[in-house]
Amino acid sequence: MPSLEWYKIFGVLSVFLTWSSVAYILLRIPRAAAHSISHHAAQRKKEYRIFVLGMTTSLICMTLFVIKWLAPSLQLPGYLIAVFLVAILLETIATWVPLTEGRQFAIHQWCSYGTAVIIPVILILLAVSPRVRGLAFYIDIAATVFIFAFWLMFFFIKKTREHYLVYQSLYIAAFHCALLSIAFAD
C-alpha cells in the first residue's frame, strides 16, 4: 500500500491558499473591521473572481486532504467524513454565491454560518478519535474552546461585532491550527 503521508501536503496547501485568498482581498479592498471576509470579497468583481479561484482550489485541496490522508490515517467513521464533506460543500457554495443582496445574501449566510456551526462539531469528533493524542489532542481542544468562546462573545457581547473580521479570522485560524496539528504533531 502506498504511503499516505504525502497527502498531508494538501492540508498545508489548503490552509496556505485560504490565507492567501483572504490576504489578497484584505489588501485590495479597504478594510472595515465590522464586516466579514465575504463582505469584503463581494465589493469588487475582479477581486471576487480571484478570491473564488483561490478558495475553490483551497477547498479542493481540503477535500483531498480529508479523503486521502485524514480519514484513512485516523480511521475516521463514515459519518465524520460525511460531516466534513458537508462543511466543504457549504463553504464552496458560500464562496461561489457572493454576499450581496436578496436571495444571494440568504444563500450565502445559510451556507457560511452552516459551515461555522459544523466546524466545532468536526473538532469535537476529531478530539474523541482514539488516534488523536498528545499535543494534537490539546490543540484540538483549545481550538474548540476558542471557537465556543467566539460564539458566546458574538451572541452576548454586542461590541465584539464591531470587530467581526478579527474574530472570524481567529475562528478560521483556530480550525486550521487544529487540523495541521493533527497532521503534524506527535
Q: Residue 3's pLDDT is what?
A: 75
- Count of domains for the chain: 1
Give the residue among 48, 79, 60 at the shortest CA–CA distance from 10.
Answer: 60
- Please give the model's pTM, rounded to 2 decimal places: 0.95
Q: Are 182 and 132 in contact (CB under 8 A)?
A: yes
Distance between CA atoms of residues 164 and 121, nearest Å:
21
What's the rounded mean pLDDT across residues 61-73?
97
Distance between CA atoms of residues 148 and 80, nearest Å:
20
Give the residue among 1, 45, 52, 46 at the shortest CA–CA distance from 22.
Answer: 52
Helical segments of the chain, H only: 8-28, 37-41, 45-64, 71-74, 78-96, 102-127, 134-156, 164-184
pLDDT at 34 over 50: yes
Distance between CA atoms of residues 131 and 123, nearest Å:
13
Q: Residue 4's pLDDT is what?
A: 81
Residue type, 17: L
What pLDDT digit, counting tens, does each position of 169-186 carry? 999 999 999 999 999 986
The grid cell for 47 is 477581486
What pLDDT digit, counting tens, does each position of 133-183 carry? 999 999 999 999 999 999 999 999 999 999 999 999 999 999 999 999 999
Q: Residue 171's pLDDT is what?
A: 98
The grid cell for 37 is 471576509
Q: Are 116 and 126 in contact (CB under 8 A)?
A: no
User: Could you tell me the residue range of the domain that residue 59 belongs to?
Assistant: 5-184
The grid cell for 152 is 458566546
**1: confidence class by pLDDT, cuts 50, 70, 90:** very low
Distance between CA atoms of residues 122 and 182, nearest Å:
13
Give the residue among 29, 91, 11, 152 at the shortest CA–CA distance from 144.
Answer: 152
What pLDDT digit, counting tens, does each position of 99-133 carry? 999 999 999 999 999 999 999 999 999 999 999 99
Q: Residue 2's pLDDT is what?
A: 59
